[in-house]
Amino acid sequence: MADPTRKRVVVTGIGVITPLGQGIATFWENLLAGQCGIGPVTAYDTEGYACAIAAEVKDFDPTPAFPSPKEVRRTDRFTQFAMVAGWEAINDSGLDLATANRDRIGAFIGSGIGGLSTMEKQHKTLLDRGPGRVSPFFIPMMILNMASGMFSLYNGLRGPNIATCSACATASHAIGEAWRTLVMDDADVMLAGGTEAAVNPIAMSGFDSMKAMSRRNDDPQHASRPFDADRDGFVMGEGSGVVVLETLEHAKTRGARIYCEIAGYGNTADAHHMTSPAPGGEGGARAMRAALASGGLNPEDISYINAHGTSTPQGDVCETQAIKTVFGDHARRLAVSSTKGATGHMLGAAGSVEMAVCCKALETNIVPQTINYDTPDSDCDLDYVPNKPREMEVNAIANNSFGFGGHNACLVAKKFK
């Protein structure tokens, strides 16, 4: 049960960099319009690669969030995504850093993989030109904590600062731990989320060798099809999502616009297998139950679940089973959708971009659709909001994120009252 005396935490700002566009307004409009950001890979020559499709961020300009172009060149693409998403989130929130107490503002921005492109390039330099030609910026560009560290550096945020890394649960863990930080009164404001830039040869080859990715190279717009009977794997996406979380009293004092209230958070481990989910989605079910309990919510209070829903044969079934385990008969009345058909799977950034979706669903009473849902699967038999967004009363949501290593995270949020 939620402690009625604990600090309440609200979302006041959102920033996203996605294959469907930059900024929450553009992203939300394109998502509801049924657009898909997946296409042939343009980042490198895919000849000889079994998987040649991805959801790439196009026409990205990182310079507004950096002090100078030189500083941009000293960061990996994953850090650049986070810098711009965080900058947008601050602007969206109306937070004035010039007058704020930045000792009480922190950042938890994680990444599942970090600067893999930088590592790939510098390793080639090492082999081709020798150790003396490896860049002195190689390590700070590559390590995955640098997005969180550089964001705090450039914005003078001196409060709590860490970088979560839990594969595809990374961003949801970052938001959940930031929520806990505010509940414990260790900060007044936290920027939290995830970032990923893994559309590169080594990452794509590694995931494909696991048979985890779709190979529908001839039909990329329909390759990611969560919960559909013809799904054959996920499609790599890239981008970043950052949300501004504040204690309610801090937000009210400055007259902030409030999207919703973060009510609870669940964090569990499968302790089952390196990559496969526990049978029946048991670990994910415990995360959902923990999130509901910490938020003082009953299963019947939830209107919408943004599912992890990656379009993998086993994962989608296990998540469906977990939802039915936790929600019982109410599972049939829930709207459950996955936005990964449109964005691809953004790995460590997925949970934060999907939290942005949940915030907008609570704000607008519109639930986004699961695109490419054409053929029902008897093992995935819930209401997945197929192919068209739905207007409905959205009072409370759950946001699921599950990662390799058996990491499970669930966030619950509700309309602010």
CA distance 205 to 208: 5
CA distance 199 to 381: 32
Phi-psi region of 180 (alpha: psi -120 to 50; beta: other; left: phi over 0): alpha
| Residue 323 φ then ψ, to 5° | -60, -40
Whether residue 168 lies in the annotated active site = yes
List the beta strands (DSSP E) in 77-150. 105-110
| Radius of gyration of the chain measured on its C-alpha atoms | 20
H or E segment to which residue 280 belongs: none
Q: What is the DSSP letter of 210?
A: T
Contact 143, 122 (CB under 8 A): no
- Angstrom CA distances, 2 to 179, 180, 189, 291, 396, stand at 13, 13, 21, 10, 15
Q: Which one of 36, 168, 318, 359 is the catalytic residue? A: 168
Residue 44 structure tokens: 């490198």
Contact 331, 354 (CB under 8 A): no
CA distance 157 to 140: 19
CA distance 355 to 395: 15
In sequence order, which residues have a C-beta less than 8 Å from that of residue 88 and are 6 or more positions away?
14, 15, 16, 22, 23, 24, 242
The full DSSP string for 147-200 is HHHHHHHHHT--S-EE---BTBTHHHHHHHHHHHHHHTTS-SEEEEEEEE---S
CA distance 32 to 342: 10
Contact 125, 51 (CB under 8 A): no
Q: Which one of 173, 250, 308, 407 is the catalytic residue? A: 308
CA distance 57 to 250: 34
Whether residue 51 lies in the annotated active site = no
Q: Which one of 36, 173, 260, 345 is the catalytic residue? A: 345
Q: Given the structure tokens 């026409």, which residue do they identify?
A: 59
| Residue 294 φ then ψ, to 5° | -70, -25
CA distance 285 to 275: 17
Whether residue 222 lies in the annotated active site = no
Tell me the catalytic residues: 168, 308, 345
